[in-house]
């Protein structure tokens, strides 16, 4: 049985078991919850996420040094970097525009009754200034950057090292060979870890669905469905159109090849933890060469969050409508700008998108405690938007690779590429 089928079975059985435990009305003190769902199963889920996160820093570093060395060697780095960042910003801008238009048409906040929804206090975190955000990208100590998992700093160091390698002649070639070998070994390690994904997602889904609060969804059905609709439009129309027009490839084949990272993103709600799986799928299944993939995918997992921007757009309109505050056209433009910035600043971990929403609300003078209205349904939406975030990273990487002649079409056209774990 192939890996996707096993992951799907793991997800479905976790979902069924979690719901069964929830519906059976077992209290929090019961041994099934204490030792099983909150004990063994929760530990299983945590171990799975930890083993993925374990790979992130070494993998990004090793693959990016090699990637940057060949990009630097060809003098293509600026162009590839520009295209990648430009496309990330563009897709996020489109995502949030779709979200705003849809939310204004559906008006989810107008039907929301204030008797059902009572916001409590919300402690907004002060937003970092643009200057500090910019300065913070540059590491003072690469080891600290790696130890603290600061992805943008690790990316900067790897890029610099890669460029220096490409300019150091003999020594550079030797060290690059070493990094190339290490990269292959890392990819092998990921393949081994992904084999555990069916069990990992089973554990994550069981814990989540044994707790998830359904009542909140009914109270916020209109908001919930508007976010889902906007995510669906973005994933099924915007990305395929861009892939067909700019990369001239079959979008359905592409989405099919991205199914494993999307499923892992859905189960973990973390594009950061999914990064190793995304990188592997984009390289081995889609056929994006390491030069582009090793740069675009880690950068995307850090700064590109289209799904998050969609949630923030719908949430802003919902909160404005709930409090009956009119937003002007310039307010909406401000929302597009700040939500794009906020999604860049959003780390790829569960639930952060909601915290960053405070920045967007603040900019247009909406009450930040409005976040408390939607917090109850955010866990489920987080799963869906993280899948869209990851699909967006893959889409941009593929388009950039195609434009640079770095997309291997034989790999892309081969339905079995990357499926045989021994080849990886």
**Among candidates 232, 235, 302, which has minimal Cα distance to 84?**
302
Which part of the chain contacts ligand ASP (CB under 6 A), choosing from 195-203, 236-244, 381-389, 407-415? 381-389
Q: How far is the CB of 403 from ligand ASP (least distance, A)?
A: 25
Rounded alpha-carbon distances, angstroms, from residue 214 to 109, 210, 315: 19, 11, 19
Residue 77 or 339 having the CB closest to ligand ASP: 339
Residue 207 or 270 having the CB closest to ligand ASP: 270
Q: Work out which of 291, 306, 382, 393 binds ligand ASP, going by CB under 6 A.
A: 382
Residue 51 or 267 having the CB closest to ligand ASP: 267
Residue 41 or 384 having the CB closest to ligand ASP: 384
Q: Work out which of 84, 183, 210, 386 binds ligand ASP, going by CB under 6 A.
A: 386
Q: How far is the CB of 127 from ligand ASP (least distance, A)?
A: 16
**Distance in angstroms (rounded) separating the CA atoms of residues 303 and 312:** 15
Residue 382 or 404 having the CB closest to ligand ASP: 382
The token pair that represents 114 in the structure block: 């204030």
Q: Enter the DSSP assignment of 304.
A: -
Residue 134 contacts residue 349 (beta carbons within 8 Å): no
At residue 288, φ and ψ (nearest 5 deg) are -75, 130
Residue 172 or 313 having the CB closest to ligand ASP: 313
Q: How far is the CB of 242 from ligand ASP (least distance, A)?
A: 20
Long-range contacts of range 185-190, CB-CB < 8 Å, 24 or more positions apart? 186/55, 186/58, 186/59, 186/62, 186/63, 187/280, 187/283, 187/284, 187/424, 188/424, 189/55, 190/55, 190/59, 190/276, 190/277, 190/279, 190/280
Residue 53 or 257 having the CB closest to ligand ASP: 53
Which part of the chain contacts ligand ASP (CB under 6 A), choosing from 9-17, 91-99, 351-359, 366-374? 351-359
The token pair that represents 393 in the structure block: 């990273």
- Which helix (H) or strand (E) element contains residue 405? none
Q: Which of residues 257-316 bind ligand ASP (CB under 6 A)?
A: 269-272, 305, 308
Pattern of binders to ligand ASP over 9-48, x per CB under 6 A?
----------------------------------------
Q: How far is the CB of 347 from ligand ASP (least distance, A)?
A: 7
Q: Work out which of 234, 289, 385, 402 binds ligand ASP, going by CB under 6 A.
A: 385
Which part of the chain contacts ligand ASP (CB under 6 A), choosing from 67-75, 189-197, 325-333, 385-393? 385-393
Residue 73 or 93 having the CB closest to ligand ASP: 93
**Distance in angstroms (rounded) separating the CA atoms of residues 287 and 296:** 14
Measured from each CB, the residue nearest to ligand ASP is 353
**Distance in angstroms (rounded) separating the CA atoms of residues 230 and 98:** 6
What is the four-CA torsion angle of 90, 94, 97, 98, rounded to 10 degrees?
Answer: -170
**Among candidates 262, 350, 267, which has minimal Cα distance to 308?**
350
389 belongs to the binding site for ligand ASP (CB under 6 A) = yes
Pattern of binders to ligand ASP over 213-252, x per CB under 6 A?
----------------------------------------
**Among candidates 334, 345, 295, which has minimal Cα distance to 158?**
295
Residue 271 or 398 having the CB closest to ligand ASP: 271
Q: Enter the DSSP assignment of 415.
A: T
At residue 108, φ and ψ (nearest 5 deg) are -65, -25
Q: Work out which of 353, 392, 394, 418 binds ligand ASP, going by CB under 6 A.
A: 353
**Distance in angstroms (rounded) separating the CA atoms of residues 33 and 22:** 10
Pattern of binders to ligand ASP over 311-350, x per CB under 6 A?
-----------------------------------x-xxx
Q: Residue 185 burial (CB < 10 Å; 0-12/13-18/19+)?
A: exposed
Q: How far is the CB of 156 from ligand ASP (least distance, A)?
A: 21
The token pair that represents 66 in the structure block: 């090699």
How many residues form the binding site for ligand ASP (CB under 6 A)? 17
DSSP codes joined into one string, 192-243: HHHTTHHHHHHHHHHHHHTT--HHHHHHTHHHHHHHHHHHHHIIIIIHHHHI
Residue 291 or 382 having the CB closest to ligand ASP: 382
Residue 277 or 407 having the CB closest to ligand ASP: 277
Q: Which residues bind ligand ASP (CB under 6 A)?
A: 269-272, 305, 308, 346, 348-353, 382, 385-386, 389
């Amino acid at each position: 049985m192939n890996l996707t089928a096993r992951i799907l079975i793991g997800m479905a059985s976790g979902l069924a078991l979690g719901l069964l435990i929830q519906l059976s009305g077992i209290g929090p003190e019961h041994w099934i919850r204490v030792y099983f769902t909150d004990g063994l199963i929760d530990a299983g889920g945590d171990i799975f996420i930890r083993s993925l996160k374990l790979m992130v820093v070494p993998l990004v570093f090793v693959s990016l040094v090699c990637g940057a060395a060949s990009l630097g060697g060809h003098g293509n780095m600026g162009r590839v970097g520009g295209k990648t960042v430009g496309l990330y910003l563009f897709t996020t801008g489109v995502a949030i525009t779709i979200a705003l238009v849809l939310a204004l048409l559906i008006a989810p906040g107008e039907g929301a009754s204030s008797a059902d929804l009572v916001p409590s206090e919300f402690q907004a975190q002060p937003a970092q200034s643009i200057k500090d955000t910019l300065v913070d990208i540059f590491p003072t100590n690469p080891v600290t950057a790696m130890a603290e998992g600061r992805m943008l700093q690790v990316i900067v160091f790897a890029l610099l090292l890669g460029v220096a390698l490409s300019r150091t002649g003999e020594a550079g070639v030797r060290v690059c060979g070493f990094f190339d070998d290490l990269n292959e070994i890392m990819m092998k390690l990921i393949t081994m870890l992904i084999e555990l994904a069916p069990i990992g997602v089973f554990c994550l889904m069981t814990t989540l669905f044994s707790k998830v609060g359904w009542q909140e969804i009914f109270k916020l059905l209109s908001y919930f469905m508007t976010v889902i609709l906007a995510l669906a439009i973005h994933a099924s129309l915007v990305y395929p159109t861009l892939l067909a027009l700019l990369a001239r490839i079959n979008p359905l084949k592409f989405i099919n090849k991205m199914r494993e990272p999307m499923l892992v993103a859905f189960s973990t709600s973390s594009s950061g933890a999914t990064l190793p799986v995304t990188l592997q799928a984009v390289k081995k299944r889609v056929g994006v060469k390491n030069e582009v993939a090793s740069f675009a995918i880690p950068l995307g997992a850090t700064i590109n969050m289209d799904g998050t921007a969609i949630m923030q757009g719908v949430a802003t309109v919902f909160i404005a409508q709930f409090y009956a505050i009119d937003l002007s056209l310039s307010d909406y433009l401000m929302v597009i700008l700040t939500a794009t910035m906020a999604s860049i600043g959003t780390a790829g971990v569960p639930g952060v998108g909601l915290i960053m929403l405070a920045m967007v609300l603040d900019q247009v003078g909406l009450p930040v405690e409005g976040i408390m209205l939607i917090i109850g349904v955010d866990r489920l939406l987080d799963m869906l938007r993280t899948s869209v975030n990851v699909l967006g990273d893959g889409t941009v990487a593929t388009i950039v690779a195609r434009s640079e002649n770095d997309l291997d079409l034989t790999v892309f056209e081969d339905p079995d590429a990357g499926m045989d774990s021994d080849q990886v």
